[in-house]
Structure 1
């Protein structure tokens, strides 16, 4: 139940909701029992059992117990019985109407509070997952399947809403209802009530067995949903490849296999879940029959402990036990199913980001001197991709990282905004380790333009102003002009308010890249990282993007990763990387004179 109470902790802020809920639940239970409790007086009126009974001489003295309220009721009821039986019946009917009305009022208030608590739990859970995800290091997203993450954020939270949170009402209200009914039953006949309690342990054991098996099935079901989401995401992203390689049948079979697995798990769960309600109902009816036999025998034998009207009332109240008992058993089964999803959710929330601020971290107020790599080594798992890197990048310089694919260029650049931390050595800005600076203040000084233009399904304005919502339209237009993007934006329907579609698919590759550059220009960073920013473009688009990049790089410290070496020949320093090491460094002319790897790469590209 630890997971269950942890889910409920996300209901904050509760304020007065919790005590109100308990009070309303208690009052509903009281008036629900009272509604059935007046059945005996009604029967007495009809059978004229108490017409000749002695009327109490005066109202009893106040005391907070059931007997006091019963004696007050008897005083008025018996007085009316002596005067006029029909008036006595009217008196009981008025109490019955008032009781039912109040019971339903409190039932409504319980539903309102449940809705508020439910909304709080789901909102807080989703916010907690999202907060954790956006704070996770980049490596987490390369290791974890995106579909599985989306399944946890959407499907698992929905499952928690449908089961754990919805069961809260039953798990609080129904026990109070059961207690109220049992108090009334004990008051009528303690002997009969004790007999009915014998079956409860058996019923509880059966229901708990069903619930435990449900939790195991639910875990497998939610894992399957994650795989379905993952396959769907890959299909939508790779539709061109699927069609180009005639892999439609393969994709269908792969998807259908997981869907069928989910269906099997779901049917199995539904079977077990469906058992809980009927089982508890059957056991309840079984006991009712037993009570009918035992109580009926007592009356037929002339037992003075139980009158006919009281026995009928007892049966009526006991029959109502089946409803809360069934609700409780169903809720318990549902909770087990939801707890499996909750544990998957908390599996993400409990993750600790690999990159986080020290408690003593300082804010980087400004960048003044240089970025330095001090004997830096980095590895993904056991494979070292950077080995003992020593680089110094003075402020205002442009340095280029070139070399064969897999040499560690992008990884080296990723260490500067602290997407990763080196396993040894240190990366510093102005002589201060990045680990001693706050992550946000470091990244605030940087702008990144990557090979893949990351755009969002939003307007052009919001894409350029991303991360800077306070900027004006004039500022966005100015940034777009510098990025050579204003002209094509102006020609679009809606201009800067035109929607770009999913991942900016309404634009060409060059246009998407210029939007990304405009975004970086608007940020006005001190440090610029260009990761293969033009490698995927045609010659015409490349020229426009290169001009935009030249505007962007003015008076900034730039780290350029490039395969097209013609674009970096004016760099202040070029580093040639191979197998995680720097094998050559210098300006273009010097490297050409050396006749090493750099010159060979230039010659290969010249021939091609």
Structure 2
């Protein structure tokens, strides 16, 4: 219940929707119940010859049916049976219209609540995902996150609002029906109501394992979504290695497991309704036998018309009972999905701004690493890094693969915090600064040229959404991208496709560089990615990178010898430590790791 009430909190302000829903539902139930009470007086007065006798019995009764029969009898005396029949039919039609009108209103208010809950829940989940630190996404399956945001949230909102609807409406409707039944025959009603606790006990046994199966089902669906995402992203690799069959088999295995779980859950859920209905039929048979015997033998004051109303009303009692049992069996899936969603919401980002964090509005002197250590889990990546990057200089990070260059680069925009030691900008410790203000001083061009499935214009203007057309074009020209953009189908309004797959590698890279140019930060973080490009594209991209680095502080993970040679400082990193520092000539004269890398042609020109 704790999970359910917490999920319900996303419906706030719930009173905005709940109060109108309660009022509309109450009127719908009143008119719906009133409709059944009209049946007995109508039959008794119009179609049973001994109506006056039965009326004399019921008129002394306190039940509503008897009073209404008396009114109809007076109407017959005044207008006659035919005119009275017309009057009763008009009342029935009017009652049906009102019952359905208020039922429509109640469903409309509940749908508003459902949409409102879904909006709040999905917004909260997505916002929290966007606030999480980079390291979280290295340890979690992307498909699992997508499944929680898309599928699980949908299950949760439907279950929560549907249960809220059933918990109020169905018990209230049940009470109104029971009131009518008790007014007709207390003895019959006491026996007939035994079906409800018996039915509830049996159904609780049937659906006992539903929550565990529902959790397995949600996790299996998340695996399929993740596998689908990987397969679409790596479709070229799959086809290149003729792995289509094995990939299809792997997906099919998970799909079969997911379908098997859903089938088992459906069978359990579907069993609940027939059980409650079967028990209800047994009770109806007993009522017919017992009540019919009372009428035929003349025992008690039960009349044929009352008996018909009793049976008709009791047949309606099973509808709210069925709705309650269906809701009880379905809520397990919603709670299981809710626990997964709340687990994501409860995940706190490791990097948060401290209270009153300082905001920096520029870069004036240097970025410094002071005895920085960093671990991924138990694996130590950086060991006591000491490094000073002065404003206006170009620093190249080089070294063997896996030495820690990318990790060091990720620490600069504070994607992670070091395990120990400190990183400072202009003498201010990162941990005392507003994270967003630190990142605002930096632009990034990654090794993977990531573009959003949007227009070229919007991709360049991503870091500056209010940029003018002239500003975007100017950035594209600096990045050597303007010419190819003008030659595309719709120029700057051309869509680049998923991850930019409608552009070549060199074109994507130049659009990314244009994006960084437009942001115009004082510090550039560059992971050169020219090695996989053709000669012409490589030349254009390298020229664009050189333009980007002008008059800026640049930290580069270098793959080109020309970039390294022109760097103000070269930092050689091996096994998480800075082993050499200097310019190209100084390091060549040291005859250390840097010279060995050059001699092995580890860098291209």
Verify same fold: TM over 0.5: yes
Equivalence for 1:269: 265
Q: d(CA) in 1 for partners of 2:495 and 2:603? A: 42
Equivalence for 2:36: 36
Equivalence for 1:285: 281
Equivalence for 2:77: 82
C-alpha displacement of 1:443: 1.1
Selected match of 1:582 from 569, 578, 598: 578
C-alpha displacement of 1:468: 1.8
Equivalence map 1:314-333=2 (5 Å): 314-333=310-329
Q: Do structure 1's residue 524 and structure 2's residue 520 form an aligned pair?
A: yes
Q: Do structure 1's residue 394 and structure 2's residue 385 form an aligned pair?
A: no
Q: Which moved more, 1:374-383 or 1:230-239?
A: 230-239
Equivalence for 2:479: 483
Q: Equivalent residue of 2:306, what SS?
A: helix
Q: d(CA) in 1 for partners of 2:161 and 2:229? A: 29
- Structure 1, unaligned stretches of length 5 or more? 61-65
Equivalence for 1:548: 544
C-alpha displacement of 1:503: 0.9
Q: d(CA) in 2 for partners of 1:11 and 1:467? A: 34
Q: d(CA) in 1 for partners of 2:17 and 2:180? A: 28
Q: d(CA) in 2 for partners of 1:279 and 1:519? A: 64
Equivalence for 1:192: 188
Q: Which moved more, 1:513-522 or 1:229-238?
A: 229-238
Equivalence for 1:235: 231
Q: Which moved more, 1:74-83 or 1:139-148?
A: 74-83
Equivalence for 2:206: 210
Q: d(CA) in 2 for partners of 1:419 and 1:184? A: 67
1:177-201 deviation digits (Å, cap 9, x = unpaired): 1111111111222221111122221
Any conservation in 1 of the 2:44–2:69 contact (CA below 8 Å)?
no
Q: Do structure 1's residue 514 and structure 2's residue 510 form an aligned pair?
A: yes
1:418-472 deviation digits (Å, cap 9, x = unpaired): 1111111111111211111122111111100011101011100010011321111
Any conservation in 1 of the 2:31–2:98 contact (CA below 8 Å)?
yes
Any conservation in 1 of the 2:413–2:438 contact (CA below 8 Å)?
yes
Q: d(CA) in 2 for partners of 1:217 and 1:165? A: 22
1:237-294 deviation digits (Å, cap 9, x = unpaired): 2222222222222212211110111111111111111101111111111111122222
C-alpha displacement of 1:575: 0.7
1:6-34 deviation digits (Å, cap 9, x = unpaired): 33322234453111111111111111110
1:478-516 deviation digits (Å, cap 9, x = unpaired): 000011100100111100000101111111111111100
Q: d(CA) in 2 for partners of 1:284 and 1:169? A: 23
Q: Equivalent residue of 1:576, what SS?
A: strand
Equivalence for 1:18: 18
Q: Do structure 1's residue 493 and structure 2's residue 489 form an aligned pair?
A: yes
Q: Equivalent residue of 1:605, what SS?
A: coil
Equivalence map 1:203-602=2 (5 Å): 203-602=199-598
Q: Which moved more, 1:169-178 or 1:501-510?
A: 169-178
C-alpha displacement of 1:48: 4.0
Q: When the two structures are superposed, what TM-score results if normalisation uses the length of structure 2? A: 0.95
C-alpha displacement of 1:116: 1.0
Any conservation in 1 of the 2:42–2:69 contact (CA below 8 Å)?
no
Aligned residues: 601
Any conservation in 2 of the 1:535–1:562 contact (CA below 8 Å)?
no
1:288-344 deviation digits (Å, cap 9, x = unpaired): 112222222332332334222112111110011112211221122122122222221
C-alpha displacement of 1:607: 9.4
Equivalence for 1:63: none
C-alpha displacement of 1:161: 4.7
1:333-359 deviation digits (Å, cap 9, x = unpaired): 122122222221111111111111112
Q: Which moved more, 1:475-484 or 1:13-22?
A: 13-22
How big is the alpha-carbon RMSD for the aligned residues of Structure 1 and Structure 2?
2.2
Q: When the two structures are superposed, what TM-score results if normalisation uses the length of structure 1? A: 0.94
C-alpha displacement of 1:413: 1.0
